[in-house]
Every structure is written in C-alpha cells, then in structure tokens.
C-alpha cells in the first residue's frame, strides 16, 4: 500500500512539474496549444516514466538500497 501511494505521489508531482516546464515560456505555450490531448498525454507518460522515473529509481537504488518500490505477486517495480 505504501508503494502504491509513493508511486501516485511521484507521478502526480512529476506530472505537475513537467507541465509547468512545458508551459513556462511563450514559445513553449504555443507548442503546447497546438498539441491534442492524446499527444500531450503520450508525452507526459514517456517524460514521467523514462526521463524522471529511471533516474529516480537509480538514485533510490544507489543512495538508499531500495530494490523495488512496489512488490506484488505478479510484478515488481
């Protein structure tokens, strides 16, 4: 349960931070306005999971020796 909560907080916080970066400048806002919802959600998914998630998991592993954030009978994250 703690792992699910940690993942939800991470995804929400990282999604908000990436959205703030995408809409901070006028040029960035113009590009943001030209994308549709599917394009934006696809970008957010890959930006959160690859650009932010992988380094965060590496830091957790190296600094705190956390092997998995979420362990279930079906998969480990």
pLDDT of amino acid 58: 93
DSSP conformation letters of 52-76: IIHHHHHHHHHHH----S-B-SS-B
Confirm whether pTM is higher than 0.75.
Answer: yes
pLDDT of amino acid 68: 85
pLDDT of amino acid 34: 94
pLDDT in tens, the chain (77 residues): 788 898 999 999 999 999 999 899 999 889 889 999 999 999 999 999 899 999 999 999 999 998 888 888 888 87
Residue 76 backbone dihedrals phi, psi, to 5 degrees: -120, 135
**C-alpha separations of 17 from 21, 38, 71 in Å:** 6, 19, 27
């Amino acid at each position: 349960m703690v792992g699910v909560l940690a993942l939800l907080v991470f995804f929400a916080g990282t999604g908000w931070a990436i959205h703030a970066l995408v809409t901070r400048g006028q040029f960035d806002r113009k590009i943001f306005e030209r994308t549709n919802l599917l394009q934006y959600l696809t970008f957010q998914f890959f930006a959160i999971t690859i650009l932010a998630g992988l380094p965060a998991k590496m830091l957790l592993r190296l600094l705190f020796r956390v092997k998995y954030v979420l362990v279930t009978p079906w998969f480990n994250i």
